Amino acid sequence: MGNHQALSWLDEVAARRRDAGLRRELHPRSAGLEPVDLASNDYLGLVRHREVLAGAAAALGRWGAGATGSRLVTGTTTEHELLELELAEFVGAESGLVFSSGYTANLGAVTALSGKGSLIVSDAGSHASLVDACRLSRARVQVSPRGDVDAVRDALATRTEERALVLTDSVFSADGDLAPVRELHRVCREYGAVLVVDEAHAIGVRGDGGRGLVHEVGLAGEPDLVITATLSKSLASQGGVVLGDARIRAHLVDAARTFIFDTGLAPAAVGAARAALAVLRREPERAGAVLGRAADLARIAGVPEPESAVVSVVLGDPQRAFDAARACRERGLHVGCFRPPSVPAGTSRLRLTARANLTDQEMALIGEVLTDVLAGAPA
């Protein structure tokens, strides 16, 4: 085979994806008139809030456009450390460490806290970043059915490894269901394991004033529980954070490769996240407003009321889901379209995400469009 044919296999893969209705497309947003948004993760409606923009601009002016280096060299500013302190205090943790994304936060935390000679029990519904962390960990990995506490107990009870981690999302991103965090922690405590909970879709939505599901179920500050989260959803910015015992933070600074070898989070993103957190603390009712709008969306779509900002409308066939999402977009409504491998085969869906600042006028358009589109694309 000549060199010019070295990538011919990509054509074959693309054709198979196209036939299965699984090709993905980019749809750039314009800076002008945009559709009503039910696809983003801007749960609190803060991405254009004047205080958030001002926080980003102030940090940009003070520190410049980039972090200039890794956190251990020149990439840590006083702004980074203030954000870590404020986030930790907000969720009730002892300390925090900011990463360049939620993805790298999960990779760094899991790989640094596991390794050869340890066991990871990962929930089947865990985010792709936790799945990839398992693959990189060099630990023995056992996947447990989603939310199955008994399966986690069995895995921990029969392990031969000295150390063990249990991984789960607190709010599963595809359908918005809640994980049994309290029960999982009880099993981890019983068998000497550490529970890692990804609160990406819970911060700003669940718990007292949006402090997350861990806080809501009374586990804030437990030393054998680690929280990971993103700053790109409720906090309207970019970046990730690991929150927990101060010994964990110190260990990650020494051992987390995605912290040590990655350029620090840009100061403007740090400033925006700090400002968004300040707004949430001053206006805790935004968390309840998200859940209220999610309930409204569920009624319109004819699905059960959700426990989070995510409303999942399962249509089954990937092409049916894609066509329904396109029909919504053509009528001025942007919705998420989840197909395999993001969700299991046969469960392709529209994923609607609520925002605290959805207006009554927007809800009227949403009701009209979704009613029409879903009538033509029954589950």
Mean pLDDT of 64-90: 98
- pLDDT value of position 32: 64
DSSP code for 178: B
pLDDT at 24 over 90: no
DSSP code for 201: T
Convert the pLDDT of each residue in 177-215 to its tens digit: 999 999 999 999 999 999 999 999 999 999 999 999 999
Encoded tokens for 173: 């991103």
Alpha carbons 80 and 93: distance in angstroms, whole number: 17
pLDDT at 1 over 60: no
Alpha carbons 211 and 175: distance in angstroms, whole number: 20
Q: Report DSSP letters for 204-255, one per residue.
A: TTSSGGG--HHHHTT-TT-TTEEEEEESSSTTSS--EEEEE-HHHHHHHHHH
Q: Which residues pair with 348 in a beta bridge?
A: 316
**Would you say the pTM of this structure is higher than 0.85?**
yes
Q: For the chain, which domains are there? A: 50-282 (3.40.640.10), 284-375 (3.90.1150.10)
Mean pLDDT of 328-336: 94
> Residue 33's pLDDT band (boundaries 50, 70, 90)?
low
In this structure, are residues 164 and 156 in contact, taking their beta carbons and an 8 Å threshold? Answer: yes
Other C-beta atoms closer than 10 Å to the C-beta of 103 total: 21
Burial, 276: exposed, middle or buried (Cβ in 10 Å; 0-12, 13-18, 19+)?
Answer: buried
Average pLDDT of the chain to the nearest whole number: 95
Nearest-CA neighbor of 154 among 192, 191, 115? 191
